[in-house]
């Protein structure tokens, strides 16, 4: 069995109650500071979003305005040159001209909010936590706390009381994210084929195959 498949089995066997215990031990309450939605040290915000999550955000926007793929996601910059050309293996939520998540909103008093909160990607639902499994992503730097399989990343909301119900909801989303990330990695590996892009082109390889930045299939 390949390493990713072994890790996927481990993710599927994660116990939500045990994850919730760890989250309670660390403690967390969102303060709506917006730090996880903003650029950091002049680096644009790079939250991973999967193809189906892009479509979920597109659908959630229907009541306001029609959004195309590039309104929601952009090629993850890692692996691309300074002009954005090359091949990469992930999508990132779209960023605005300041580098912040394009869906981030801030009130006059500095309180942050997500304009697509009900359809936000799993990585946003679970921040600042991750699970210690190979093949899963570790958002925004090194862990600053951990309990069991759960790692906590820098966030001013850490250490605050959290209800058991909220801890279990967060734990369920954390398990779902770990499974989804590993499934995506395996599907990307299986779907990958060299794209041989023309000079200056950008190709994103995801679980559905090679795509252009607008989400359309890249020609073989």
For residue 143, pLDDT beyond 90: no
Tokens of 94: 């779209």
According to the model, what pLDDT value does residue 135 have? 81
According to the model, what pLDDT value does residue 14 have? 97
Q: What angle do CA 98, 62, 139 make, to 5 degrees?
A: 40
176-209 confidence digits (pLDDT tens): 999 999 999 999 999 998 888 888 899 999 999 9
Phi-psi region of 162 (alpha: psi -120 to 50; beta: other; left: phi over 0): beta
CB 11 within 8 A of CB 131: yes
pTM for the model stands at 0.90
According to the model, what pLDDT value does residue 63 have? 52
Instruction: Tell the residue number behind the tokens 């359309």, with chain if given.
Output: 216
Instruction: Give Cβ neighbours of residue 87 (< 8 Å, ≥ 6 apart).
Output: 79, 80, 195, 197, 202, 203, 204, 205
Q: What angle do CA 164, 112, 42 make, to 5 degrees?
A: 115
Cα dihedral sign, 189-193-199-203: negative
Domain boundaries, the chain: 3-211
DSSP-derived secondary structure for 33-99: --GGGS-BTTBPP--EE-HHHHHHHHHHTTTT----HHHHEEE-STTB-TTS-EEES-EEE-B-TTS
For residue 12, pLDDT beyond 50: yes
According to the model, what pLDDT value does residue 141 have? 67
According to the model, what pLDDT value does residue 6 have? 94
Q: Which band of pLDDT confidence, cut at 50, 70 and 90, is reported for residue 1?
A: very low
What percentage of residues in the chain have a pLDDT greater than 70? 95
For residue 62, pLDDT beyond 70: no
Mean pLDDT of the chain: 91
69-99 confidence digits (pLDDT tens): 999 999 999 889 988 899 999 999 999 989 9
């Amino acid at each position: 069995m390949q390493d990713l498949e072994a890790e996927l089995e481990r993710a599927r066997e994660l116990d939500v109650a045990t994850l919730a215990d760890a989250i309670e031990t660390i403690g967390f309450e969102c303060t709506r500071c917006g730090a996880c939605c903003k650029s950091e040290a002049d680096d644009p915000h790079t939250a991973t979003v999967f193809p189906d999550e892009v479509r979920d955000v597109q659908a959630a926007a229907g009541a306001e305005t029609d959004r195309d793929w590039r309104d929601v996601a952009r090629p993850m910059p890692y692996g691309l040159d300074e002009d954005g050309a090359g091949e990469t293996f992930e999508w990132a939520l779209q960023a605005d001209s300041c580098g912040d998540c394009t869906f981030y909103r801030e009130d006059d008093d500095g309180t942050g909010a997500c304009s697509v909160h009900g359809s936000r990607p799993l990585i946003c639902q679970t921040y600042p936590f991750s699970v210690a499994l190979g093949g899963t992503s570790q958002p925004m730097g090194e862990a600053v706390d951990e309990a069991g399989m759960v790692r906590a990343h820098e966030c001013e909301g850490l250490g605050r009381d959290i209800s058991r119900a909220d801890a279990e909801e967060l734990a369920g989303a954390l398990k779902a994210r770990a499974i989804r990330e590993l499934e995506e990695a395996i599907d990307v590996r299986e779907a990958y084929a060299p794209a041989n892009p023309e000079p200056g082109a950008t190709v994103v390889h995801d679980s559905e195959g090679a795509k252009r930045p607008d989400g359309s299939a890249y020609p073989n």
